[in-house]
Structure 1
Amino acid sequence: MNNSIKILIIDDHRLFSDGVKTMLSDIPHVEIINQINDAREALKEVELIMPDIVLMDYNMPNMNGLEATEFLLKHYSDLKIIFLSMHEDSHIIEKIYASGAYGYVSKTATKETFLEAINVVLNGKKYFAKNIMDIVNSSISNKVRLTKREFEIIEKVKAGLTTKQIAETLFISPYTVETHRKNIIIKLGLRGEQELFKYLMKH
């Protein structure tokens, strides 16, 4: 399977990971290269086989999924990691979102949602369900108190729109868009447009 999509499952519940493996059989050209129940062992495995996607549980012995993700992305920045978890604690979800992971899928999600997340990430995009993004945005809002309009600007910038396009979409002037961008930079404690771009790419 030279053109196969290599997926590594890291989860200490074998019954669950077996179920995930069965679901993934519905996607053509997918190869489950391994199922590992310990994050420390997974670090070695990633170095050996370089999977296209890592499915990561949060709660595991020795090292949790977040710690493993931060280590892996430090050494393999292009690695696509999707979290599979039961957690809906805002503090944990915010950390997962900020870690650089490509997605988050609840272990209670439907098969269709799960397969959608895999396909979205395979196409180079991030997948965070609306309820997860609501938690993240609420947490960010509580911290920096961004306005509704500033959140709208952020979403447009993340979508790749120019200042002119954002202005046309929101029916405001380009000058107003630039003013909002400057305020966002200040509120997030950043040092300019370049840092804002990096922040938005990570979040």
Structure 2
Amino acid sequence: MISTEPGLHWVGEAGNGQDALELVRRLQPEVLLLDLGLPQMDGLEVMRVIAADTLPTRVLVVTARQDPQAMRTALSFGAHGYLLKTDDASALVSALRTVADGGHHVSPELAGVFDRDVQTREPLTPREVEIAQAVGRGLSSKRIGCDLGISEHTVRKHRENIARKLGLRNTAEMVAWMIRQRL
């Protein structure tokens, strides 16, 4: 299905984590679709090695695991997206494109994982809301900067302020927060 989409090419497949890591090292794909429950080397270990080796491949986790700990761990290990196996094909293609373009994606169904009664200590400025909305759409800081006519550095500073104000730890939590707020 992926190969039938314009601009997307399926370059390899592996049945275990060790083989997946070897393929990533050899082929260096833009995006790796990765299950967490792989034999020999689980998906979390694969992500840890990809990060340690500073490989350029971005990781989109595609899994059945919906528990908060697995999701938080995957995101902290460098996953750029977290998609459920029950999501439809169009969601997979959209998530792939978002991650490949430098953004982040979290299945809307999982937005509630980050419910922690987020309390905003300070209100978000209109610019911060605008940037948070763009992050929620999966756009990268570079793309947001281009769209708004500001520097990538300025966008990153706004993102830091948003995260501080909302008590969020990473981009995935910001995306999930935006989904919950329907912004």
TM-score normalized by structure 1?
0.60
Distance of 1:151 and 1:111 partners within structure 2? 37
More strand by share: 1
2:62 corresponds to: 84
CA displacement, residues 80-120 of structure 1 (integer Å, 9 cap, x when unaligned): 11011011111111111222211111111111111111111
Q: Does 1:147 align with 2:147?
A: no
CA displacement, residues 114-133 of structure 1 (integer Å, 9 cap, x when unaligned): 11111111221111122323
Of the two, which has the highest radius of gyration?
A: 1
Q: 1:53 aligns with which of 31, 40, 63?
A: 31
Q: Could you tell me whether the CA contact under 8 Å between 2:17 and 2:43 is conserved in 1?
A: yes
Q: CA distance change for structure 1 residues 61 and 127 in 2, over 3 Å: closer, same or farther?
A: same
Q: 1:34 aligns with which of 12, 16, 25?
A: 12
Q: Does 1:113 align with 2:91?
A: yes
2:76 corresponds to: 98
Q: Does 1:64 align with 2:42?
A: yes
Identity of aligned residues (%): 20
Deviation at 1:31, TM superposition (A): 2.4
Distance of 1:98 and 1:151 partners within structure 2? 27
Distance of 1:130 and 1:149 partners within structure 2? 25
Distance of 2:122 and 2:74 partners within structure 1? 23
1:83 match: secondary structure: strand
Between 1 and 2, higher relative CO (CA 8 Å, sep ≥ 6) is seen in 2
Aligned residue identity for 1:124: G
CA displacement, residues 22-56 of structure 1 (integer Å, 9 cap, x when unaligned): x2033123322211011112222211111111000
Q: Could you tell me whether the CA contact under 8 Å between 1:58 and 1:83 is conserved in 2?
A: yes
Distance of 1:105 and 1:58 partners within structure 2? 11
Distance of 1:118 and 1:106 partners within structure 2? 13
Distance of 1:57 and 1:152 partners within structure 2? 36
Distance of 2:123 and 2:47 partners within structure 1? 27
Distance of 2:70 and 2:123 partners within structure 1? 22
Q: Could you tell me whether the CA contact under 8 Å between 1:146 and 1:184 is conserved in 2?
A: no
1:75 corresponds to: 53
2:105 corresponds to: 127
